[in-house]
Every structure is written in C-alpha cells, then in structure tokens.
Amino acid sequence: MEISYRTLVLFIGALAAAIVGIWIGLSPTGVVPVTITEDVVITHTLDDGSCIVDTTDTVLSAKTVRNCNLKEGTKITVSYEKGSAEARMIP
C-alpha cells in the first residue's frame, strides 16, 4: 500500500490538532478562563464607588467590585475569572 505525501501530511496535521485540543481541554489553567461565583463580604469601600472583597481565589484573593455603593460588612454575590483583579456583583 502506497501513501501519498499529501495524505501523510494531512494525517500528521490532524493528529497534532487532536493532541493540542486534548491538551488544552485537560489543562488545569486551559485557554478558557474559569468563572467562579461566590458569596463574599465587603471588606473595604473606596471613594471612587468601588469595593474590595476577599474571595477564595488561590491566585489573587482580593477583588475590586466597580459600581459598589454598599457599606463594609455587607454580604454580596460576585462572579469573577480565576486570577483576575476584578469581580462583578451579581444581583
């Protein structure tokens, strides 16, 4: 059986694409960021209308929440991407 050069190149390309796809899918960091939603307590309020909250993020636990005019000690629900510096308040 004779395999053409073009068929061999296509096969190797498809195999490489499959390996890269599996590697990205199984990678703990991956290419797609992990979004986390959790209940937190506001630890600081800032003059610019934002708040600081502490999260369970092991990369960067303190997050800034913009447009947050609530008092320190208030419980809120936030959503953020792992490792990011900002979080979004969930109503």
Same domain, 15 and 42: no
Confidence of residue 31 (pLDDT cuts 50, 70, 90): low
How many domains are contained in the chain? 2
φ, ψ for residue 66 (rounded to 5)?
-80, 155
Domain that holds residue 82: 35-90
Residues above pLDDT 90, as percent of the chain? 62
Same domain, 45 and 63: yes
Confidence of residue 8 (pLDDT cuts 50, 70, 90): confident
The domain that holds 73 is classified in CATH as: 2.40.50.140
pLDDT of residue 28: 62
Same domain, 41 and 26: no
Residue 40: closest CA among 73, 85, 83: 73
Q: How far apart are CA 82 and CA 71, in angstroms?
A: 25
Same domain, 49 and 19: no
pLDDT of residue 33: 73
Question: How many Cα atoms occupy the beta-carbon half-sphere of 42 within 13 Å?
Answer: 20
pLDDT tens digit sequence for 53-74: 999 998 889 999 999 989 999 9
Same domain, 66 and 47: yes
